[in-house]
Amino acid sequence: MVKISTFQALRPTEKLVEKVPTQAYSNYSKEKVKKEINKNKYSFLNIITTNPNLSIAKRFNTIRSNFNKFKKEGVLMKDENHGLYIYQQTTDKHRYTGLICAIELEEYQNKKIKIHEKTIKKREELFSKYLSITKIHAEPILITYDSIKTFIDQSNISDENKLYDFQNKDGIKHEVWKIIDQQKIKKMIKNFDSIPYLYIADGHHRMASSLKCGKTQKCLAYILTKQELTTHPFHRVLSTKKSKKKILQDIGIHFNIKKIKLPYQQKNNIQLYINREWYEIILKKEEKQNILDDLLVSKLLENILKPIFNIADERGSKNIRFIAGNTPIKNITKNIKNNEILFFMNTIPIDTIIKIANQNQTTPPKSTFISPKIPSGLIMMELI
């Protein structure tokens, strides 16, 4: 069984809810941050954007002051009573419905909340310091469980308990309902008694940092059933000084390689784009003993990146960048330069991710891009 609980949300007032939430800060260029701040004084970016020349402690203290300012000016409000929150996100392709709640960090420490990615200690320490000073979880960690059974029914969703219903400039619709009825809350909490484990889909560093911070026993989570999630790969773009001819020759020594018109989704072979042409590398069929060895990202690293380009650590390489797999392929290829190679990856199914987590193993870095992405500054939790 896993434990969930109610919390008091910090959130935008209803009249300003369309103006406050943003995408994750890392999604914005410096120019876009500046543009957003200048045209929208209520944007969450106004809270978290600080002078980069300040020390880390001063920057985080400034963020805390900005939170307090937004609360004082009535942009943000804190709910008087505890509750559970249902958040629904609707795009042109998907509708995601899940529960925003508090979860116990003790569950993570005791491996009741499982991981599939390794965290970087430096990032853990930085975000831990951020939490200890700002005392805010600005967005929930994305969590799933190994069941298709949802605990959200129509009795939890009505006009009477709806907080928000708006559409942002990206065309994504956001709806939030609050559950304060004690009988419904007790039923929801009891339902999770039947769930043996939770799994982090996105937010491994925030979870690890929350535990390291030590300022609270709880963390903010958005929990959906596994079939609600959409899983994409991260494609790799490699910059290299090698010529196309040399690259194809080096690959051809070890593998058969053929030209193709377009890449196929979920192909078990490596597909690459170089100088405006697509190629497929025919890999040898081998019996893999380890589930990780059979992942295409692992095959790319072991068969191509290490032996041919001398890259043993993709995340640490300055010559590799990652592109989320929800980006249309034509939008990716038009930005590939002549000295770059695009390696087209396939999706790791959520059941495979859960299996890896259950074996206490972790996927290679940047293996999965999982949706939905929850806005920052919509439903938040203060550390108390």
191 and 337 in a common domain: no
CA dist., res. 163 & res. 161, Å (int): 6
The residue range of the domain holding 129 is: 4-230+371-382
Q: Which residue has the tokens 């310091």?
A: 129
56 and 16 in a common domain: yes
Residue 204 CB neighbour total at 10 angstroms: 19
Q: Which pLDDT does position 154 carry in this prediction?
A: 83
240 and 226 in a common domain: no
For the chain, give the percent of residues with pLDDT over 90.
81
pLDDT digits (tens, 9 = 90+) for 310-321: 999 998 899 999
pLDDT digits (tens, 9 = 90+) for 119-133: 989 999 999 999 999
Q: Which pLDDT does position 267 carry in this prediction?
A: 83
For residue 289, pLDDT beyond 80:
no
Residues in the chain: 384
For residue 47, pLDDT beyond 80:
yes
238 and 225 in a common domain: no
Tell me 194's DSSP state: G
Tally of structural domains, the chain: 2
Burial of 287 (0-12, 13-18, 19+ CB in 10 A): exposed
The larger pLDDT score, comparing residue 59 to residue 290, is at 59
Region 57-80: what's the mean pLDDT?
96
Q: Residue 207's domain is classified under what CATH number? A: 3.90.1530.10
149 and 53 in a common domain: yes
Report helix, strand or coil for 52: coil
Please state whether the peptide bond connecting residue 196 to the residue before it is cis, i.e. omega within 30 degrees of 0.
no
93 and 185 in a common domain: yes
Please state whether the peptide bond connecting residue 372 to the residue before it is cis, i.e. omega within 30 degrees of 0.
yes
pLDDT digits (tens, 9 = 90+) for 224-278: 999 999 999 999 999 999 999 999 999 999 899 999 999 988 888 999 999 999 9
What average pLDDT does the structure give for the chain? 93
297 and 197 in a common domain: no
* DSSP string of 133-178, one letter each residue: HH-EE-SPEEEEES-S-----GGG--GGGEEEEEE-TTS-EEEEEE
Region 288-307: what's the mean pLDDT?
91
129 and 215 in a common domain: yes
For residue 288, pLDDT beyond 80:
no
328 and 286 in a common domain: yes
Whose CA is closest to 208, among 32, 200, 343, 94? 200
pTM score:
0.93
Q: Which pLDDT does position 225 carry in this prediction?
A: 96
